[in-house]
Amino acid sequence: MVRMVQSIDAADDRVGQPIPSTPAAARDPEALVDAILTELGGFIRDLRCGSTERLVRGDLSMTQLHVLWQLEHHGALPMSRIAELLGISLSNATGLIERMAERGLIERVRTEDDRRLVLIRPDVAGRQALTEAELLKREAMRTVLQRLGPAQLRRVADALHDLHAAFSAELGTTGHVHHFVDTAD
């Protein structure tokens, strides 16, 4: 574990440094992958830290947002699956969901096939919170992207397209539909 932390600390020192485009770097794909991971890790940390404050201003905890994001991604879920995804006990998940239900963020629905099975899904306020969170993230990214020139924007767009396709292929999520949220432009 110490070796990994030291490696991450060393990588942090390289964040923002140009990724080598020398012929040697082209011959060493592993070094290029490491450089990309360093940049991506720094970018994700900055994005997460920079957007967290804005997202929780709406009086939602990060845990509540995480539940809503999981429901958006997976669709309606039983309580046991929510607990599993969050890595918490069933009793803790039940308390969390109860508090969210009291605020109108989620609703419990019974399935037609088995009335004993109760699924959790976002309610109107939960869907609104997801939409607002997405709009905040988009506006934050728009501000960042506006700092780039047209050629840089094209490279970023192409690279993200390729990365998304590779990621989807790796996870088998090509064409995955997110549930319960309106996409904004």
pLDDT in tens, 29-59: 888 888 889 988 888 888 777 666 666 666 7
Residues 137-184 pLDDT 10s:
888 889 989 999 999 999 999 999 999 999 889 888 765 566 654 544
AA identity, residue 5: V
Distance of CA 25 to the CA centre of its chain: 30
Average pLDDT over the chain reads: 81
Given a contact cutoff of 8 angstroms between Cβ atoms, the answer to whether 88 and 94 are in contact is no
pLDDT value, residue 180: 56
Whole-prediction pTM value? 0.67
pLDDT > 70: percent of the chain? 74
**Fold of the 59-185 domain:** Arc Repressor Mutant, subunit A (1.10.10)
Domain ranges in the chain are 1-57, 59-185
The dihedral sign for the CA sequence 80, 83, 84, 88 = negative
- pLDDT of 147 reads 96
Q: List CB contacts of 47: < 8 A, sequence separation 6 or more.
A: 140, 141
What's residue 20's pLDDT? 56
Question: Of 31-40, 56-65, 78-87, which one has max mean pLDDT?
Answer: 78-87
